[in-house]
Structure 1
Amino acid sequence: MARLDPHSYTESSQPLAKHVALTLYFDFAARTIHGSALLTLPAAHTGPLLLDTRSLVIHSVLDRHTNAPIPFSFPSDPTPDPVLGQPLSLSLSAQSAALVVFSTSPSSSALQWLSPAQTASKAHPFVYTQCQSIHARSLFPCQDTPAARLVFSARLNLPHPLTAVMAAARAAAPRDPIPGEAGSACPDALWCAPGRSVEEFIMDRPIPAYLFAFAAGDIAARDVGVRTRVYAEGGAALLDAAAREFAGAEEMIRAGEALFGPYEWGRFDLLVLPPSFPYGGMENPMMVFLTPTVIKGDASGAQVVAHELAHSWTGNLITNKTNEHFWLNEGFTTYAERRIVEVVQGEETAALNMGIGWRGLNDEMERFKDNMEFTKLKPNLEGIDPDEIYSQVPYEKGFQFLWRIERQVGRPTFDEFLKKYIAKFKFQSIDTETFLEFLKANLPGIENQIDLKQWVEGTGIPPDAMEPLSSIYSKIVSLSNEFKLGKIPKEQEVANWSGQEWELYIENLPKSVEPSQIAALDAHYRLSESRDYEVKVAFLQLAISSGCKEYFAEVERTLKQVGRMKYLRPLYTALVQGSAEEAKMSARRIFAEARDTYHPIAQGVVESILAKHS
């Protein structure tokens, strides 16, 4: 039978669940969740139903009405697929629902459990999820493909005094467990043990499994707008800084609504996670997850918020059908983000954002020079772990494609097209072919003006892509070129620069320069000590590539402070790519010492980098 998605065991001939009711009991000591998932189908089904799992223990499967066992099996080799995990096959007999009782593994790739010592408060443990791209299957059995959308309810049983937040609406105030209510999720004595409380949530808009998200621990909150509240684990100081950094969220929401139509998710809350969070942000609907590294003190971190907000229309509202069409999420969202930033922060800031993206896209061409398949907008990802080839290509090449269409038809026409597109496909998962058909139907003749096939299926950067043009962008590139001649920018030339300008400047420098030049630049502007990790990491990467051993200590501190993959990937790669054995040994030692502080997704990425260059 045909699979619906190369990254899921879900069969195209089988029904897709429409609702899941989750009951989750958190065992922090064992780093395990004991739970049940009541999956409801649109109609009664007879025959097998395949669900995705990874590192889950399946205790039983029950008929929701009779409590009778439903036969289940793992119809695959004894060894789970390293990318997909194991299919769980339920043998249904005219049934429209099944209750799967399960436990997660301490090695679940969707969960990071932090001990009290690893948190900011140092007093209580913490746990959070990251389900994108294909990690929801290690949290609960599901059809873990973005082609499948479902609504859900969830009951979370936590020890006092911990609280939970979720990318969903809170259904009721926390309460003590009621004897007998846990059903088959776990023994009543366990569920109703003293010193615990139950929190309930509902998501009534259909979402794919990768957007399922929660966190639990010692979490505080503060309102920053009529639809926005900031949450953080790091105490009052971090909460204050986050509230200041993201104070403009409501203005961004209004800008997005003016550009793309109504905001469909009710609230837009923000959770600042511990530094181990592997991404800059994750667009979980109703509650965006953020790394604390986006809090820079100058509101520039709000650009990450603009990106996650833009996903409310492009990604969450309209979703790529599989990860082979990931550009439909990220290319559209990068375009939408820059339109929002342009309204809120001005054209020059948006142009700088575009310039950094252009530089990043060119860097990815070098990264994938030996496998140009991954430079396509629609690559073949059969057998490929999406985390392994995560890159800027779907973001920046996707942005360039949409910007090319905008330049061809004019912004007013393209804006009208975008609103039609979002209204037509909201709460649906689509593929590239569906988008292209809609494009050609609504912008007649576009296929004769732009080589759509080259943009979607071709490798590399198409010849009609365009480097952004603006006065500040041109000035920064010019100063970068002067550095190649040994000239360091004068203080008056950089007096008004923020982190974004410095990032663009460093990104345009040669990949390897004389160590004396690196030292001179740092002596003037202390870039290695920047509080802005975008600047710091870009500079340290350049320093490593240029053989500046004196920066190894700062590289090590950075790799042990944060777990964001945007920083881990270039720094570890720079350490192991060169010929210096000392740098390679340092990379292995640092990872061995820092590994437990990284999220499982980040651990896998670093392990892959080290293995490639071993």
Structure 2
Amino acid sequence: MATTVTSSWDYQHDYHSSANTDIVCVSHLDLNLQVDFIAKKLMGQVTLHFALAKGADRDHGQLILDCRDLTLFSVTDLQGQSLDFSLIDVGDILGQKLVIQIDQSISAVTIHYATSPQAQGLQWLTPEQTLGKQQPYLFSQSQPINARSWIPLQDTPKARVTFDATIKVNNGLRAVMSAINDPQMPPDGIFHFVMDKPIPTHLLALAVGDLAFEATGPRSGIYTEPAMLASAVKEFEDTEAMIKVAESLLGPYAWQRYDMIVLPPSFPFGGMENPMLAFMTPTLIAGDKSLVSTVAHELAHSWTGNLVSNATWRDLWLNEGFTTYFTNRIVEAIYGKEQADLEWVNEYTRLEAEMLSTDLIDQTLPANVQTRDPNLAFNRFTYDKASMFVHELEHRFGREAFDAFLFEYVTHFAFKAITTEVFMAYMLQHVLPHFPDKLTEVELTEWVYGEGLPHWFVPPASRSLDKVHLALVHIEHKKPPSELKVSGWRVHHWQYFLNQLPQVVSQQLLLDLDDTFLFSQSKNSEIVCDWFRVAIRNHYDPVLAPLSVFLTSVGRAKFVKPLYSELLVAGYKQEVEQIYAKARAGYHPSLQVQLDKLVGWQVSVNHG
């Protein structure tokens, strides 16, 4: 296994941003935008306040920002004097860079602009695409590098900003942002927001729709369409308890409120940790709280991700690995060790499967995406392998000592963005000397830079899965599914069962399984997705109809990307073309870009 960094990459540099943050640092945004649902545009202005970076040359001359498909009307200083600027294309992944000529007297610029109807960071939904069917809907998704498609800015996690925003909505809908949100509706449709703590730009978020609100605790609540509010509040009623558990581990919650918005099904992620307003997919509302670990995950990001951030997308594992581990601790405290262990085992099962189809060079903790789409960094290695690493740190140090380390780590790097190499230096200087007999530098290096899992790694286990193993043995010995003892199984048991089925399953067994357990009709998205993958690889064609319905009604990337991939591998190219033609318009633009490449979709020919 490779255990050292041998390439010539500059690991301090963010390869996914053109911004000159090493010279000029934008620290605050004043945002003033009008929401136009007819034109599908945001129009208005942003004022960026900046200062020289520490140690930078006083005669800097330029402010360089990231953009994508923005229409720029003017760039001025605070006195309204026009400034020279140029917009330069830097490729499909990065978009454009905006180069503004400035001198030493200028500490802020105002940019008048409009977004494109096809902005990758914004999705405009028709009334028919919402639950209520009466009003349109808009929501953003800035991570990883889509903030630049709705605000010209230094779009890198290294550039933390505070912001003030005024959002004008002219059709009676509610606007909410990743800031303090007032449940009271303003009579004039003008919403004001303040975020007074510096956040990475990928956490800038906006949603506008027919939104109702209900509190789930003194500092938490739910925004969503009125018809979904009661079920969402019931599903997420343990949020306040989660906050208290998280605080007991990592210190006081720094963001004042932890509200959530449950978005329409086209939201491409399970959740997004936008501070003060986490975005959630409706696929989490299963009716039994079986999938609420995603709520715990986004809450955990309030410390590991929002307070301590990855400096580049290569370093995403620092966000997601610690957060995935921390999620498990919250689940254990609220729902018990059995559920926490089951989720941990399922993490490993997902990782094990992805290792079989991933090049070794991409099986390190740092994501090797410097010249590639940063969306590729969101994989099982930056999440689950990284979580296994953090679990091993707990095992090596002991829980009490590990919790003290975790608290000190978050405190030390609060409101900072760090690289993998900064983390390694911190471990070598501040942690390993206190645990000389627990973890060596060689072992640490193997975990972080090594490919795959270390040879000494012991996978997690759960005695709760004994009954699933017994069922799998019975299946192997041709026992009918109707005779399996599945009473009391949780969602995680069913996921493990489906993921451990043989690669090749007979048509008769698939039919019997479906008839007995009604997998194709399951309302739990995790179960039905795992079932579809088993069925597709074994050419069980009865699933094609419900699969088509699923893919045209759910836009969560975790589900749709693997399912399209499975269909293509299994030779269902014609079916993919038919389903995607119907489903594409309902997917978030950022996901469309990824799926277009995956399925070979020709936009100019097939989609206008």
For normalisation by structure 2, the TM-score amounts to 0.92
Q: Give deviations 1:555-582, integer Å, cap 9, x for gaps.
A: 1011011101111012111111123xxx
- What is the alpha-carbon distance in structure 2 between the residues aligned to residue 485 and residue 569 of structure 1? 34
Matches within 5 A, 1:207-356: 207-233=199-225, 235-236=226-227, 238-356=228-346
Supply the distance in 2 between the matched residues of 1:45 and 1:488 (Cα, whole angstroms): 78
CA distances 1:481-501 after superposition (whole Å, capped 9, x unpaired)? 443343355667211112221
- Structure 1's 351 and 175: CA in aligned 2 closer, same or farther, altered over 3 A? closer
Give structure 1 stretches of 5+ with no counterpart.
Answer: 177-195
Q: Residue 97 of structure 1 is aligned with which of 108, 112, 117?
A: 108
Between 441-450 and 294-303, the greater mean CA deviation after superposition: 441-450
Mapped to 2, the partners of 1:609 and 1:146 lie a distance apart of: 27
1:110 aligned to 2:121? Answer: yes
- SS, match of residue 494 in structure 1: coil
Instruction: Give the deviation of 1:439 after TM superposition.
Output: 1.9
Provide the residue aligned with 2:69 in structure 1. Answer: 55
Contact 2:360 2:452 in 1 (8 A): yes
Q: Could you say if the C-alpha distance between residues 262 and 118 of structure 1 is closer, same or farther in structure 2, counting changes exceeding 3 Å?
A: same
Q: Residues 443-592 of structure 1 correspond to what in structure 2 (within 5 A)? A: 443-444=432-433, 445=436, 448=440, 451-488=443-480, 493-579=485-571, 583-592=572-581
Q: 1:81 to 1:490 in 2, by over 3 A?
A: same
Equivalence for 1:202: 194
Name the aligned partner's letter for residue 592 of structure 1. Answer: A
- Alpha-carbon distance in 2 for matches of 1:373, 1:256: 34
Is 1:426–2:414 an aligned residue pair?
yes
Partner of 1:189: none
Separation in 2, partners of 1:521, 1:45:
71
Aligned match of 1:185: none
Shift of 1:210: 0.3
CA distance in 2, matches of 1:414, 1:478: 36
Q: For structure 2, list consecutive stretches of 5 or more residues without a partner in the other structure.
A: 1-9, 53-57, 603-608
2:586 pairs, out of 597, 600, 607, with 597
Letter in structure 1 aligned against 2:86: S
TM-superposed CA distance for 1:447, in Å, is 5.1
Q: Equivalent residue of 1:16, what SS?
A: strand
Does the residue aligned with 1:169 lie in a helix, a strand or coil?
coil
- 1:70 paired residue among 75, 78, 83: 83
Task: Say if 2:313 and 2:377, in contact at 8 Å, map to a contact too.
Answer: no
TM-score w.r.t. length of structure 1:
0.91
Deviation at 1:411, TM superposition (A): 1.1
Of 121, 135, 150 in structure 1, the residue corresponding to residue 132 of structure 2 is 121
Alignment RMSD (CA, Å): 1.9
Distance across 2 between alignment mates of 1:605 and 1:479: 38
CA deviation vs aligned residue, 1:92-127 (integer Å, no higher than 9, x gap): 111111001111001100000001111111111110
Pick closer, same or farther for the CA change 1:378–1:596 going to 2, 3 Å.
same
Alpha-carbon distance between aligned partners in 1 of 2:181 and 2:580, rounded to the nearest angstrom: 39
In the alignment, does 2:430 pair up with 1:416?
Answer: no
Which shows bigger deviation, 470-479 or 552-561?
470-479
Q: Distance in 2 between matches of 1:159 and 1:12?
A: 36
Aligned length: 582
Query: What secondary structure does 1:451 align onto?
Result: helix
Distance (Å, rounded) in 2 between the aligned partners of 1:466 and 1:265: 37
Encode CA deviations 1:156-189: one digit per residue, 9 max, x unaligned: 010131111111014796556xxxxxxxxxxxxx
Q: Which amino acid aligns with 1:215?
A: A
2:156 to 140, 145, 165: 145
Aligned AA for 1:155?
Answer: T
Q: Which residue of 2 aligns with 1:402?
A: 390
Deviation, 1:250, is: 0.4
Q: Which aligned runs of 4 or more in structure 1 are off by greater than 6 angstroms?
A: none
1:14 paired residue among 23, 28, 39: 23
Contact 2:183 2:213 in 1 (8 A): no
Whole-angstrom distance in 1 between the partners of 2:219 and 2:543: 44
Q: Secondary structure at the match of 1:380?
A: coil
